[in-house]
Amino acid sequence: MSARVAIGLEVHAQITSLRTKLFCSCSSDYRGRKPNTNVCPTCLGLPGSLPVLNRVALEKAIALALALNCRISEKLVFVRKHYFYPDLPKNYQISQYDRYGLIPLAVDGSVTIDMGSYSKVIRIRRINVEEDTGRIVYPGGSPLGSTYSLIDYNRAGIALLEIVTEPDFSNPREARVFLEKLGSILEHLDITDTSLEGALRADANISVEGGPRVEIKNIGSPKELEKALGYEITRQLNILKSGGTLERETRHWIKERGITVPSRVKELEGDYRYFPDPDLPPITIPRDLIESIKRGLPELPDLRARRLAEEYGIGSYMASVLVLNKRLCDHFESTVKLCGNPKVVSSILVNEFLRWVDELDLDLSEGLKRLSSERLCGIVDYLEKGVISVKLLKEYVRRVIVEDVGPEKIVESGMTTLSSAEDLEKIVEEVFREFPKAVEDAKRDPRAVNFLVGQVMRKTRGRADPRLTNEIIMRRLRGHESS
């Protein structure tokens, strides 16, 4: 697609590693609780209640700002952002702003994404610390047709980090990789457990062919982000092609249907009447606090990727893909500790495992559980010993993930490399008999050999040792020629 596209992201990450909410000491562990049981006067915004900042939240925010190479402000200044909505207890949200002399927590950062054939620097416009809202559910399950809504404030007041990028993405894939990388950075910093539902949310702004900005909300994962953006670009191009005009709007991504629809919820947007929150005096961010946090930063994805490439001799692109997910990367390192073979292990994880997890729409943690280090090592062992070929290995990985069984079970089922020359000779003979025309073709055109190899594979259900098969076929062909 050669359309001119500019995409910017607004990501909200919950600071799930905090024990309490941002401005009150309610627990941050709100998931799975009965509604409205994790609340207090402050997060409900009861008359007379007041906010007090969670010190650790500030430190986590600083850590993220450092990891994203941002300039950190001298003071943390809170503002009130006003709009009316049932999930917003005070009808304003406490956040930061960047006009009228007010400042965000951090600005002007960058993240480099490795796209394989090129890498790109994505600019970070700002990072804010703000509070999350409550959740709205609908009695019918959907807002359509409900005469009222139901609110649960357990989540109200949870600490959020808002990360806003410049519109530097030129295609959906870049946006996806960025979101994965950001998620990985947050995981490595122990700020966000991205596997928790709702912990990492993204809104995207997209402009196609220089047209008006369309905002897409309700995107819950990097995978969805890529899909949503892809859909939106196609939709907009279709409109332009048929001579229509685009307008500036907000749209909603509907995952189940794979489409975006115009947002019918018009929050009283536009004028949020920002002003400094008088209940929260500015907090000085001492430079030595920043220094000490900097010194204590754990190994971040970029550095880790470099180390993996050096230490394990895997390619830098391979390493960059591994570090996009901390759990995956940790799994890689612990598996290699167990049975070595970093190149094979990384290839399995990146080329096979991720593909299956994606196709099966499996939760990554679940996938890693199934393809445990022990099982992975088992597979690698079979490969080393020649029990299976590379082609069979792919089948093994698939079955381990899909069926959640150990590789030994698959061996038992008889799916091992057929490398007995005798057996293979017989099958090659069969194939030669069944496809005489192909045999003739193969004598002249080496590419037709693949067809014959393929037929052997088919007959052996993929078990034939490809190299040996090839040898036998070539020999026979030469033999044929002479006869």
The interface with another protein within residues 59-98 (CB under 8 A) comprises: 76, 80, 82, 84-86, 89-92
Q: Candidates 33-41, 189-197, 243-251, 320-328 — which segment interacts with another protein by CB under 8 A?
A: 33-41
Instruction: Specify the residue, 107 or 137, whose C-beta has the smaller distance to another protein.
Output: 137
Q: Which of 2, 34, 245, 481 binds another protein (CB under 8 A)?
A: 34
Cβ-based neighbours of 284, under 8 Å, separated by 6 or more = 74, 75
Verify binding: residue 32, another protein, rule CB under 8 A.
no
Verify binding: residue 51, another protein, rule CB under 8 A.
yes
Instruction: Specify the residue, 271 or 481, whose C-beta has the smaller distance to another protein.
Output: 271
Q: Let me know: does 158 contact 135? Beta carbons within 8 Å.
A: no
Instruction: Specify the residue, 26 or 164, whose C-beta has the smaller distance to another protein.
Output: 26
Verify binding: residue 292, another protein, rule CB under 8 A.
no
Instruction: Specify the residue, 86 or 198, whose C-beta has the smaller distance to another protein.
Output: 86
Q: Which of 3, 31, 74, 100 binds another protein (CB under 8 A)?
A: 100
Q: Let me know: does 330 contact 315? Beta carbons within 8 Å.
A: no
The nearest distance, CB 59 to another protein, in angstroms, is 9
Tell me, what DSSP letter sits at residue 127? E
Instruction: Specify the residue, 27 or 351, whose C-beta has the smaller distance to another protein.
Output: 27
H helices within 222-352, ranges in order?
Answer: 222-241, 287-295, 301-312, 316-322, 326-339, 342-347
The nearest distance, CB 87 to another protein, in angstroms, is 8
Q: Which two tokens stand for residue 210?
A: 């220089």
The interface with another protein within residues 428-467 (CB under 8 A) comprises: none
Instruction: Specify the residue, 275 or 435, whose C-beta has the smaller distance to another protein.
Output: 275
Tokens 């969805």 — which residue?
224
The nearest distance, CB 212 to another protein, in angstroms, is 20
The nearest distance, CB 251 to another protein, in angstroms, is 15
Return d(Cα 420, Cα 409) in angstroms, integer: 22
The nearest distance, CB 253 to another protein, in angstroms, is 17
Instruction: Specify the residue, 42 or 419, whose C-beta has the smaller distance to another protein.
Output: 42
SS (H, E, C) 360-409: CCCCHHHHHHHCCHHHHHHHHHHHHHCCCCHHHHHHHHHHHHHHCCCHHH
Verify binding: residue 206, another protein, rule CB under 8 A.
no
Q: Which of 8, 14, 16, 54 binds another protein (CB under 8 A)?
A: 54
Verify binding: residue 265, another protein, rule CB under 8 A.
yes
Verify binding: residue 362, another protein, rule CB under 8 A.
no
Which helix (H) or strand (E) element contains residue 477?
helix 466-482
The interface with another protein within residues 102-161 (CB under 8 A) comprises: 136-137, 139, 143-144, 146-153
Instruction: Specify the residue, 37 or 420, whose C-beta has the smaller distance to another protein.
Output: 37
Helices 222-241 + 172-188 axis angle, to 10:
160
The nearest distance, CB 276 to another protein, in angstroms, is 4
Q: How many amino acids of this chain bind another protein (CB under 8 A)?
A: 72
Q: Which two tokens stand for residue 110?
A: 């960058």
Tell me, what DSSP letter sits at residue 67? H
Cβ-based neighbours of 272, under 8 Å, separated by 6 or more = 81, 82, 83
Return d(Cα 28, Cα 49) in angstroms, integer: 19
Tokens 């894939």 — which residue?
173
Say how far residue 385 (Cα) sits from the centre of its chain. Answer: 35
Instruction: Specify the residue, 123 or 217, whose C-beta has the smaller distance to another protein.
Output: 217
